[in-house]
Amino acid sequence: MKEMIVRGLQQAYENMVHMIAEFLPRFVVMFIIMLFGWLVALLLKYSVRAILHLTKLDRISEESGASQVLRKAALPTISELLSRAFFWVTWAAFTLVGISVLGIPVLHEQISRLFQLLPEVFIAILILFVGVLVANFLSRAALLSAVNAGYRSPRLWSGLVRFVIWILAVTMALEQIGLAKETVIAAFSIFFGAVMLALAVSFGFGGRDLARQVLERHLGDKHKQESEKEEEPTPL
């Protein structure tokens, strides 16, 4: 009995050592590939940036109005954006190759699926890009409006707008590539409903005075409204 247990443990230990001995070199290879990929991606990024700088792409983009769209969304120049895209795509490709070296069948299968899903992935990236554009634009609009109206915590409002649009864009992108479709939609619905409920409750409890002031401003007597207008001199 005792011998059997010792033999079993010995077997388990040997298996583990064998697995580690088999896995460790692969892991090191993966790490080396990723590191090498990172260096190649970095090199490619600077090369692309230099080449695009020579081709004066930024000036062409400026003249065509594309730079204005990027600036409106608080994004960098087109050459910077492209060079960063090259970096991430290259590094992601090396990382995938590295992961496939591990020889884990499930991961291998998922990577193959990922390559098959490339068109959908591309559309999803596009959705994310437009989402970032819209989120940056609208969050800045919210920030400016909140600051000029004298609201408290304008960055909170701005951040909330950005966050909600990001969540929406991420949900749409994940739905596009068909990743955990039901879960994503359910999670989004729960999240969105929770945000709305939280806003309603917090406004109800915390904003009673503010709501009264808003209603008074819109429905209250003229004399009060006029006295409020005197607070800032007439601009024109």
Partner 1 sequence: METSLVEETFLDDNFLRQLMSVGEVDLLVGIPSHNNAKTISQTVLTIEESFQQNFVRDRVVIVNVDGGSRDGTCDLVLNTPSPKSQNSRGLSSLRTLHRITTRYASQPSRGAAFRAILTAADLLRAKACAIILPETSNFTAAWVKSLLQPAYREDFDFVAPLYSRHKNDGLLARNLLYPMGRAVFGRRIRELNSGELGFSGRLAGHCLNLDVWREESVRTSPEAWMAVTAISSGFRCCQSFLGPKVHSLTSSGTDIVTAVRQTVGTLFWCLESQQSFWMERTGSESVPTFGPEHELTSEPVRVNRKRIFDLFLSGAGELSGVLKSILVPETHAELQRIATDDDRKFRYKDELWVRTLCEFAASYHRAAIDRDHLIQALVPLYRGRIFSFLQEHHDSSPEDIEAHSENLCLEFERQKPYLIERWKAK
208 is a site residue for partner 1 (CB under 8 A): no
| Binding status of residue 214 toward partner 1 by CB under 8 A | no
Rounded Cα gap, residues 161 and 168, in angstroms: 11
Q: Is 155 in the site for partner 1 (CB under 8 A)?
A: yes
Residues contacting partner 1: total by CB under 8 A: 27
Contacts to partner 1 from residues 72-131, by CB under 8 A: 72, 74
| Distance separating alpha carbons of residues 213 and 44, to the nearest angstrom | 58
**Among residues 182 and 221, whose Cβ is nearest to partner 1?**
221
3-state SS string for the chain: CHHHHHHHHHHHHHHHHHHHHHHHHHHHHHHHHHHHHHHHHHHHHHHHHHHHHHCCHHHHHHHHCHHHHHHHCCCCCHHHHHHHHHHHHHHHHHHHHHHHHCCCHHHHHHHHHHHHCHHHHHHHHHHHHHHHHHHHHHHHHHHHHHHHHCCCCHHHHHHHHHHHHHHHHHHHHHHHCCCCHHHHHHHHHHHHHHHHHHHHHHHHHHCHHHHHHHHHHHHCCHHHHHHHHCCCCCCC
Of the residues 15, 110, 145, 202, which one makes contact with partner 1 according to CB under 8 A:
145
Give the shortest CB-220-to-partner 1 separation in angstroms. Answer: 14
Is position 233 an interface residue for partner 1 (rule: CB under 8 A)?
Answer: yes
Judged by CB under 8 A, the residue of 34, 143, 165, 174 near partner 1 is 143
Is 161:136 a contact under the CB 8 Å cutoff? Answer: no
How far apart are CB 130 and partner 1 at their closest, in Å? 16
Task: Choose, by CB under 8 A, the member of 182, 209, 221, 230 that binds partner 1.
Answer: 230
Does the footprint of partner 1 cover residue 182 (CB under 8 A)?
no
CA-based Rg of the chain, rounded to a whole angstrom? 28
Check residue 232 for interaction with partner 1 (CB under 8 A).
yes
Q: Which is nearer to partner 1, 105 or 233 (CB)?
A: 233
Decide: is 226 part of the binding site for partner 1 (CB under 8 A).
yes
d(CA 164, CA 131): 10
| Site for partner 1 contains 217 (CB under 8 A) | no
- Per CB under 8 A, the list member of 3, 205, 219, 229 interacting with partner 1 is 229
**Position 221 contacts partner 1 (CB under 8 A):** no
Instruction: Report the residue from 140, 164, 184, 192 that binds partner 1 according to the rule CB under 8 A.
Output: 140
Q: Binding residues for partner 1, per CB under 8 A?
A: 68, 71-72, 74, 137, 140-141, 143-145, 147-150, 154-155, 222, 226-227, 229-236
